[in-house]
Amino acid sequence: MVLGRMSYAQNSTAVLAPSSQSAIDFRLALRALWQYQVTWTRSYVVSVLSNLDDADSVERKLVKNQEQIGNVIKPYYGGLAGNRLAVLLREHIVIAVEIVRAIKANDQDALRNAQATGRENANAIANLLSRAKNPLWDRHSLEQVFYKHLEYVTMQVDYRLKQDWASEISAYDAGLQHVLLLADILAEGVVRQFPEKFTE
């Protein structure tokens, strides 16, 4: 079913099993995928700023990660929604890449353009997810989540260029906790919306 057509039907007889093994496994799977995203994003930042030869390979790994995140929601919201989410998340990563390159080149115009495009992309992701009519997926809150994600990337690049290693690590840690919270919100939303799929 396409995400835009999905509606949330409250069922007082449905038994939510947030602690079922399947629910726990789903949450851990989403957490792992989002953690990979943050980890590989930092790897990309290091590779680009250090002029390492693996930058293109790391970028491809990042793009693949977005496809995997899109695949996770397909059993619940359909292939079209999953594919669309993957496309938007890939765009999100491309924008993060542009931010890294703009900061490295000290190109303020390119940086402003990338950040503006990033906000548009965040709005599109939030709009897609909010159309699921999920009670935990508020559009405005999701927009802020993805704005903040790019902000943490920007902070890491800036601190690394300044060789402020402690601040860079703190920005990475904060960004990681940020996306783990996002993963938990997404996972809990799916479990609450489809409790019948998480009973074992």
Q: Where are the domains of the chain?
A: 19-187
The 3-state DSSP class for residue 59 equals: helix
How far, in Å, CA of 12 to CA of 1, rounded? 23
pLDDT at 186 over 90: yes
Give pLDDT, residue 14.
Answer: 35
In tens, the pLDDT along 55-111 reads 999 989 988 998 999 999 999 999 999 999 999 998 988 888 898 889 889 999 999
In tens, the pLDDT along 19-39 reads 789 999 999 999 999 999 999
Give 121's Cβ-side CA count (13 Å radius): 24
Residue 16 pLDDT level (bands cut at 50, 70, 90): very low
Give pLDDT, residue 199.
Answer: 86
Q: What mean pLDDT is predicted for residues 13-18? A: 40
Give 28's Cβ-side CA count (13 Å radius): 7
Q: What mean pLDDT is predicted for residues 2-9? A: 33
Hey, what amino acid is at 97? Answer: V
Report the predicted TM-score, pTM, of the whole model to 2 decimal places: 0.81
Give pLDDT, residue 18.
Answer: 54
In tens, the pLDDT along 114-140 reads 999 999 999 999 999 988 888 889 899
End-to-end CA distance of the chain: 23
pLDDT at 49 over 70: yes
